[in-house]
Amino acid sequence: METIDPPASPVCREVRDRRGRVYRVGESDVDLLGRGRIWMVVLPWVGMAGISCAAFAFLAARSGLRAADRWGGDLGWPAGLWALCQAVVVLPAGRSRESGRLPARTAMTTGAFGTLAGYLALALAPGLTVARLAFAVCAGAGAGLVQATCLTLPGMWWPERRGGPTAVVASGLALGAVPLLLRPVADAGPPVLLAVTGTAAALAVAGAGRFLRDPPRNWWPPRPDPLSVPADPGARRAREKNPPAVRHHTLRQAARTPALWLMWLCLLGAAGVTVLGLCLLTVFGGQFGPGDRAVRAVTVAGGAAAAVAGALSDRWGRRTTLIAACLLLGAAQFGVAVAARAGSGALLLGCAAAIGAAGVAVPALIWALAADHFGENHSASVHGLLAGAWLLPVAAACGTGAAAYAARDPNTAFPLAGCTGLACAAVALFLKAPGRLSARRIVPNPHPLGEEMA
C-alpha cells in the first residue's frame, strides 16, 4: 500500500491507549495531502461512478445486441463472468495494496486500462466469443482493482466517523446509472454506447486515481483526541456508538473471529435479495403503469439516498443502522408482492426506492463496520473477502438466469426474498467487535479498596 511518509516533524507522535493500540497523531490532512481530506471522498466516488456507469452501459446494450441477432442467447455468461472476475481480483488486489506492491495510483490506472480494453473489444467485435471473453476478464479485473482502492480509502481518512464518507462513495454504484437514464444515451447503438461509455469511464477512473493517496499507518486526525472523551457532542456520540477497533487485525486474525463470517453471511443474503429485487422490478414496472424507466430512476434515487444511512450510522451506531437497513430491504420485497397483486404503481415505486436505498446502504455499512471491528491497516484485504459475498449473487444471477426463473413464480420468490432480508437483520444482531468487553460482562469488585484497607 502506498503510504505518505513525510519528513519527521516534532508535531507527529505515536500514542497508545490502554489496550495498546497505536495512534499516529499531530499531522493534519492538509499537511499530508496539501488539500482537505474531502477529496479522498470525492475522487473515489468518481472512480466508483465510472465503473458503475460502464456496467450499466453493458446492461443497456444487451437488448440492442439481442435485437440485432448478433449474440443469440449468449447474453448472460459474459456478465456473470465479469462479476466473477471482479470477485476473484478484489482479495489479492487488497493484499497487494497493503504490502505496498500496488499503490493507489497504479491500481486505478490499471483498472482504467482494463475497462477500456474490455469495452472496446466488445464494441468492435460483439459477436465473437473471444471479444466477449476479453470483455468479461479485462473489464471485470479492472472493476475489481478500482473497487479494492476506492471503497477502502474513506475509512482510512475518516477513522473517527467513517460511516458517511464510505456510504457516499458506495452511492456511486447507483449514481453511475444516471447517464443511462437519458433517452438519447440509452437509445444509442450498442457499439457506440459501449465504446463511448468505456472510454469515458476509463478517463474518469484514471483521472481520479492520479490524486489518490493512502494515509500513514495508524494515522488519526488532530481532533478529536483518540485517548480522551471528545468535548464536541457530535464527536462524543460518534465515539460512543462506534468505538475504534481494539487493535488492527490481519485477514488471518479476522478470519478466526465469528464477526467476519457473520458479516459475510449478512452481505451474501442482502446481495441476493437486492439482485433479485432489481431484476424483477423492471418486469413489474412495465406491467403496472409506472414503466421500467420510472422504476429505474426511482431505484437510482434510492441508491443515492443510501449516503444518508451512512451519516445516520455515525449518530445512531453502525450495527443499529445496519439492522434497520436489512429490515427495510426485507419489508420492501413483501411490498412488491403486495403491489403486484393490487396493481399499485405508487406502492411499486416506493418499494423500488426502498430496495435501492437499502441495497446500497447494507454493503456500505458492513464495509465501515468491518473497519470499526478489525482496524484500518488491513481493511483492503478484509474488504476483498467481503466483496466476494456481494459479487457472487450477481455472478450467479447473470450467469445462470436465476432471476428469469424467479420471475415465473413471483408469489414464491418475493416472500422468500423478504424472509432472507429479515434473516440478515437477525444475523446483524450478533455482530460484536472482537476483543471489546461488553458492559454486561464487567463484574464489580466484591472487595473494594476501602473495605480492604479498613
Classify residue 296 by burial, with Cβ atoms within 10 Å: 0-12, 13-18, 19+: buried
CA angle (5 as vertex; 372, 108 as ends), nearest 5: 70
| 7-39 pLDDT, tens digit each | 444 478 888 888 778 888 888 889 888 888 999
The CATH number for 145's domain is 1.20.1250.20
User: Does the pLDDT value for residue 72 go beyond 50?
Assistant: no
Residues 149 and 209 in one domain: yes
Residues 69 and 163 in one domain: yes
User: Does the pLDDT value for residue 195 go beyond 70?
Assistant: yes
> What residues make up the domain containing 212?
30-219
244 located within any domain: no
Contact 19, 247 (CB under 8 A): yes
| 142-158 pLDDT, tens digit each | 999 999 999 999 989 99
Residues 274 and 422 in one domain: yes
379-400 helix and 258-287 helix, angle to the nearest 10 degrees: 40
Percent with pLDDT over 70 in the chain: 86
Residues sharing a CB contact under 8 Å with residue 107, sequence separation 6 or more, in sequence order = 93, 97, 145, 146, 148, 149, 209
Which residue would you say has higher pLDDT here, 250 or 75? 250
Mean pLDDT within 112-141: 88
The Cα–Cα gap between 386 and 322 comes to 15
Residues 193 and 290 in one domain: no
Residue environment code for 323-343, b if the CB has 16+ CB neighbours within 10 A, otherwise e: bbbbbbbbbbbbbbbebbeee
Residues 304 and 187 in one domain: no
Cell of 180: 443511462
Classify residue 20 by burial, with Cβ atoms within 10 Å: 0-12, 13-18, 19+: exposed
Instruction: State the DSSP H helix or E strand holding residue 96, giving kind and residue range, or none if neither.
Output: helix 76-99
Residues 295 and 341 in one domain: yes
Given the C-alpha cell 474488504, which residue does it identify?
Answer: 383
Q: How many CB atoms lie within 10 A of CB 265?
A: 15
438 located within any domain: no
Residues 258 and 197 in one domain: no
Contact 425, 267 (CB under 8 A): no
Cell of 258: 465469528
The count of structural domains within the chain is 2
How many residues in total does the chain contain?
Answer: 454
pLDDT band at 454 (very low <50, low <70, confident <90, very high): very low
The conformation of residue 139, written as its DSSP 8-state character, comes to: I
Query: Assign residue 150 a region: left if phi > 0, alpha if psi is -120 to 50, beta otherwise?
Result: alpha
pLDDT band at 126 (very low <50, low <70, confident <90, very high): confident
Residues 322 and 273 in one domain: yes
Residue (of 360, 340, 356) closest to 348 by Cα position? 340
Residues 155 and 264 in one domain: no
The Cα–Cα gap between 23 and 355 comes to 38
Residues 182 and 280 in one domain: no
- How high is the mean pLDDT of the chain? 84
Mean pLDDT within 435-447: 56
Which residues, listed in sequence order, are joined to residue 192 by a DSSP beta bridge? none
77 located within any domain: yes
| 361-412 pLDDT, tens digit each | 999 999 999 999 998 889 899 999 999 899 988 888 776 666 666 666 677 8
Residue (of 117, 109, 164, 122) closest to 138 by Cα position? 117
Distances (CA, A) of 453 to 297, 443, 447, 450: 72, 21, 10, 5
Helix (H, G, I), strand (E, B) or coil at 281: helix
| 242-298 pLDDT, tens digit each | 888 888 899 999 999 999 999 999 999 999 999 888 877 766 666 665 666 777 788
pLDDT of residue 452: 46
237 located within any domain: no
